[in-house]
Structure 1
Amino acid sequence: FQKRMEELPKSSYGAKAEGSVEDTQFVSSSSLRLILVGKSGCGKSATGNSILCQPVFESRLAAQAVTRKCKVAKGMWNGRNILVVDTPSIFEAKAQDQEMYDDIGHCYLLSAPGPHVLLLVTQLGHFTAQDTVAVRRVKEVFGEGAMKHVVVIFTHKEDLEDGSLDEYVGNTDNHSLRSLIQECGKRYCGLNNQATGEEQREQLEKLMAVVGKLERDNQSSFYTNDLFHDAEMFRRDGDSTPEEYLAKVQAHIEKQKQDLKVTGSHWASKALHRVKNHSLYIYIYIYIYMYCCSEDIYINKLLLSPFI
């Protein structure tokens, strides 16, 4: 973690970040801050390159995750600075070790005082159980309130050919995907990360239109929480040691996990009460949905108990 700290831009945001595509200040109050989130291999780095119109993030087909640590790059769109943070595999079920907390702490430092948008990347037609886990991990890492700032990015838009993304989303029988789209206010966009020239510009315009509406809905406020405040203070004033900062990171993440468990347990209890006089089909459906969306053992036992 200390090595990563040395790679951070200096306080007051005056230094150029490695991989930047614009030779201006690192960040300003008017910068649009975006964080790429999602499971490994979904195309986060390629999406970042499409947004910046530059190959600043390493992106290639590989058996294992290519991005090993958080990276930041920036560009311009219609005269506005764009700051993009690419993330490693911190949204996987197995990401529970000390390196994960280092990566999360690094992500917070790079995007402090907080992102305007979380771009949740998934491949068109391949929203799997791993994606569902990634959604839950986003809530654990940033807090459930961060979903108000999520835009879903479907990569491989070219697979639609002449089809409509709206029709695809509206007609999908993937209940987890439909739930996600509803939860994030039906904010989504498709990208062909192989596009160039006019096609690349047009799809970026569509994405920025979605982002712009999200900003208006949120009254131009970015998402923040206590840990983003700690990260900003640590980076700006050095008010604690790296060890103290990482301890805050771990405590914050564990608290958010616990908050999600409490919320999920309450939701499950209400759901069970509502359907107790309905058909077994509805009951089984709710159990399967909750099992896919939660790794909380308590919730799963609660839902499964009538069948044991």
Structure 2
Amino acid sequence: MKKITPLLFILLITACSVEPAIDELSIETDTDTENNSDTDTDNDSDNNSDADADADADAEIIYYLPFITTNTAQNISINQAKLSAHIELAPLSVGDGIAGNSNQIERKGIVWGVNENLSLDNGFNIIFNSDPGDYSTTLENLNPATTYYFNAYAINANDEVVFGIEQSFTTATEAPCEYEVDNYLRPIYKDYDQPYRPERVSLTNPNIYGQGNLEFVASSSNSIVKIIVRLNEIDGNLPLSGTYKGVYDFNNLSIQSSNEMRLTIEDYNGLIDFYPQGASNNTDTEIYIQNTGDKISFIFCDTAVGDYVLTGKFSYQIP
């Protein structure tokens, strides 16, 4: 009986020492499983992110080009002209999936010169800001009787250049004759040649259908003679320098200057039997108008008006 007791003691000790080992092994196994699961999840997330990044990197960003309209030139004179254009941004596509797409422009401008097929390398370049909409400029110090070409352009965020449709204009010619004395005319009829010196030149709107929107009248208090020039100008603006040709009437429904005029001489002086009581221009009648900014001169270079021949000039002082 004394020999059995130590053996039981040893077995009890052995049993107690084994249980903690099993519990410890079980804990270590659970920890490794969780770590492996977290690692796999992180790896999948990283792989997906990398794949998305690669897809975005491979996608091509679209840079849209704007829509450009190059307008026809306006206010053309001997040495200047107004150029204008309009730019409209292209709409961005909805749902294209690329956040970097752009329809913005970096800058816009107008290129001009005396040669056709203009580019940024072979013309004079006028640069504007990047705002869309209307923009314009006035060219000055141009040569008379010269044809110029111009076109509007824009550059997008990818340095791509887009142009409108090229336009052209021709500056007016200089007056074919010149007179030093102002407000001095000679309405010649056959052998009758009497100087006419208008004392005043007035400007009104004739307000008569087909007779334009500007009426310049040269008159004098001591004479019944009147010389009348009617014009049809854009928005009723004062005429620019250039040669104006005679028409019988204007189309008031589309008011715009096309260098046309109506010229009339009124004379109701019955004391001279052979002197006609006025005359009007023909379609081949031409006069020259000179706008210096402070006055407008009407120049007649042996201008045929009916049976008259009109020489000299009169001027209207711009207020």
Given the two structures, how large is their TM-score scaled by the length of structure 1?
0.22
Higher RCO, 1 vs 2 (CA within 8 Å, ≥6 residues apart): 1
Larger strand fraction of residues:
2
What is the TM-score with the length of structure 2 in the denominator? 0.21
By percentage of residues, which structure has more helix? Answer: 1
